[in-house]
Homo-oligomer: A and B are copies of this chain.
Amino acid sequence: MTRVRIARAASDEVNNPTSQVVRFGADRPLALDSGGALAPFQIAYQTYGTLNAQKTNAVMICHALTGDQHVANTNPVTGKDGWWDVLIGPGLIIDTDRFFVICSNVIGGCLGSTGPASTNPATGKPYALGLPVITIRDMVRAQAMLVDHLGIEQLFSVVGGSMGGMQVLEWASSYPDRVFTALPIATGARHSSQNIAFHEVGRQAVMADPDWLGGRYIEAGKRPTKGLAVARMAAHITYLSEAALHRKFGRNLQDRDALTFGFDADFQIESYLRHQGATFVDRFDANSYLYMTRAMDYFDLAADHGGRLADAFAGTKTRFCVVSFTSDWLFPTAESRDIVHALNAAGASVSFVEIETDRGHDAFLLDEPELFSAIRGFLRSAARARGLEQ
């Protein structure tokens, strides 16, 4: 698809997505951590497979910062495969012949759930920064309302990486009886100072773009694409690892035999990063980027429980499988260990897998055999325990 068509498709998805949508009216507000409530609001979601009669085979997939609900189908905006279609589908690790898979766009997102690009019914204009700041707990609270709507009492599993992993932890903490198993991958129980720093750089890049217009760019028919591209470029570096960059790009030149002694993209890594920035801005709303990064910054599960992370999981019966990657420097293994220690202190059932890879944080989205085998083994044993034949 051309860039213009992608941008138009992205815009079309905001209020009237091609996904299924559940609309909650003024009588069913979403309570927000900021103190207020959001009403009306809507959640756009995709499902795969069939809910069994006992309603015990539902798996909730939580997406990451710039992800969406199109986890295992062609993306209506980009035309690309679903972002986790290596993992989810008929006969795959999360087998849609056996499980009923749900994935919803988070509140604050831009692919059909209520977010800053959505039309505020009170004004007829986009919310922009008029939308209250959304937290990870707000996102999960909305997902629980979706699960209620689907008539599901308990999810067999909640699975997600990065910001999706934060939602997994929040689900297990806020709704322990509704989560049979939880799979937080490449995540942390709180956003570190360095991670907040990188997010702040991204936000400042967006806000420095004169086309951001204090957030009201949609009304003005503009988009802060330059600033958002810079934000994406900076963030993208943190999703990889130095080793992976060295292996993939090194100091290789891009379509040239020698340095040009100029400021064009001489190096492949420059060209690659520029491409990452350019393609991202077509599919993603800049204000949503601000809201998503803020939600992650604010996440601090221990702080929500008197400063002791174990108390977030007191008495839990959920079975946990925590996964980290050796080369992930955005959410290093130490962050996962902190989660595991807290779960142990809470007496929870927990397994922990640290996967050796040089692919960095993004490893969770890739065809990573060790990750797949860990998820397969964990879910198979849990399915038996839940009385689901595997």
Contact = CB atoms under 8 A, between A and B. Distances in A.
Interface in A188-215: 190-194, 196-198, 200-201, 203-205, 207-210
B269 A200 contact: yes
Contacts of A230: 201, 204-205, 208, 230
Interface string A288-301: 00100010011010
A261 B33 CA distance: 9
Contacts of A332: 242
A203 to B, nearest CB: 6
A273 interface: yes
A51 B37 CA distance: 73
A258 to B, nearest CB: 11
Interface stretch (A106-114, A245-253, A362-370, A374-382): A245-253
Interface in A252-308: 259, 261-263, 265-267, 269-270, 273-274, 277, 290, 294, 297-298, 300, 303
B196 A270 contact: yes
Contacts of A262: 133
A140 interface: no
**Interface size bracket, A side:** 35 or more
Contacts of A263: 129, 133, 203, 207, 290, 294
Given A34-B261, A227-B208, A261-B132, A251 B190 contact: yes
B245 A233 contact: no
A233 B33 CA distance: 30
A226 B230 CA distance: 12
Nearest to A238: B237
A303 B203 CA distance: 38
Nearest to A35: B261
Interface in A311-349: 329, 332
Copies of this chain in the oligomer? 2
A65 interface: no
A234 interface: yes
Contacts of A237: 194, 197-198, 201
Given A208-B227, A251-B300, A267-B297, A246 B200 contact: no
A332 B241 CA distance: 13
A59 interface: no
Contacts of A190: 251
Contacts of A204: 229-230, 233, 274, 277
Interface in A29-55: 33-35
Contacts of A229: 204, 208
A274 B205 CA distance: 12
Given A35-B261, A201-B233, A201-B237, 13 more contacts: A132-B261, A194-B240, A200-B274, A201-B230, A203-B263, A205-B230, A208-B227, A208-B230, A210-B210, A242-B329, A251-B303, A266-B297, A267-B297
